[in-house]
Amino acid sequence: MVVGGRKMRIPPLILLLLLLSASAAGMFTAQRDSGAFQAGLRLERALPTKGVRLDHLLARDRARHGRSLLGTSGVVDFPVEGSANPFTFGLYYTRVRLGNPARDYYVQIDTGSDVLWVTCSSCDGCPISSGLNIQLNFYEPDKSSTSTVLTCSDDRCTSALQTGEAVCPSGSSRHACSYSFQYGDGSGTAGYYVYDTIYFDTITGDQQSLNSSAQIVFGCSNSQSGDLTKSDKAVGGILGFGQNGLSVISQLSSAGVAPSVFSHCLSSSDSGGGILVLGEIVEPGIVYTPLVPSQPHYNINLESITVNGQALSIDSSVFTTTDTRGTIVDSGTTLAYLAEQAYGPFVNAIIASVSSSVRSISTSGGNECFVTSSSLDESFPSVTLNFKGSVSMSLKPENYLLQQGIDGDTIIWCIGFQNNKGSEITILGDLVLKDKIVVYDLANQRIGWRNYDCSQSVNVSTSSGRNQFLNTGQFNANGVSHMVCHKLLWTSIGFLFLFLFFL
Cα–Cα dist 282/112, whole Å: 24
- Looking at residue 296, its amino acid is P
- DSSP H or E stretch at residue 365: none
Point out the residues that are catalytic.
Answer: 110, 330
- Type of residue found at 398: E
Q: What is the pLDDT of residue 85?
A: 61
Handedness of CA 436, 437, 442, 444 (dihedral sign): negative
pLDDT attached to residue 186: 66
Long-range pairs, 52-58, Cβ under 8 A, ≥24 = 52/87, 52/88, 52/89, 53/87, 54/87, 54/365, 54/367, 54/402, 54/404, 54/414, 55/365, 56/89, 57/86, 57/87, 57/89, 57/334, 57/335, 58/335, 58/418
CA 151-154-156 angle, to 5 degrees, is 115
Contacts of 458 (CB under 8 A, 6+ apart): 263, 265, 275, 281, 283, 437, 452, 469, 470
Residues 6+ apart with CB under 8 A from 328: 297, 298, 299, 425, 426, 427, 428
- Distance between first and last Cα of the chain: 23
Is the Cβ–Cβ distance between 210 and 41 less than 8 Å?
no
The pTM of the full predicted model, rounded to 2 decimals, is 0.75
Residue 272's pLDDT is 64
Paired with 240 in beta bridges are: 110
User: Going residue by residue through the chain (503 aa), what tens digit of pLDDT does each one get?
Assistant: 433 333 344 454 444 444 444 444 444 344 434 333 344 444 343 333 344 556 656 655 555 554 433 323 456 776 565 444 655 544 567 788 999 999 999 888 777 788 999 999 989 889 999 988 789 999 999 999 999 999 999 999 998 998 889 999 887 778 999 999 875 456 789 999 999 999 876 544 555 555 678 999 999 999 999 989 999 888 899 888 888 889 988 998 888 888 899 898 888 877 667 787 888 999 999 999 999 999 988 999 999 999 999 999 999 899 999 988 999 998 777 789 999 999 999 999 999 999 999 998 877 667 889 999 889 999 999 999 999 999 999 999 999 998 887 877 788 999 999 999 988 999 998 889 999 999 999 999 999 999 999 888 888 876 544 455 454 444 333 333 333 333 333 334 343 444 444 44
**For position 4, what pLDDT does the model report?**
38
Q: What pLDDT sits at residue 467?
A: 52
The type of residue at 377 is: D
Q: How many helices (H) and strands (E) does the chain have?
A: 8, 35
The count of other CB atoms within 10 Å of the CB of residue 373 is: 11
Cα separations (Å) of 378 from 85, 104, 346, 384, 501? 22, 48, 19, 17, 69
- pLDDT value at residue 43: 38
| Per-residue model confidence (pLDDT) at position 209 | 53
What is the distance between the alpha carbons of residues 125 and 231, in angstroms, rounded to a whole number? 11
In angstroms, rounded to a whole number, what is the distance separating the alpha carbons of residues 233 and 369? 30
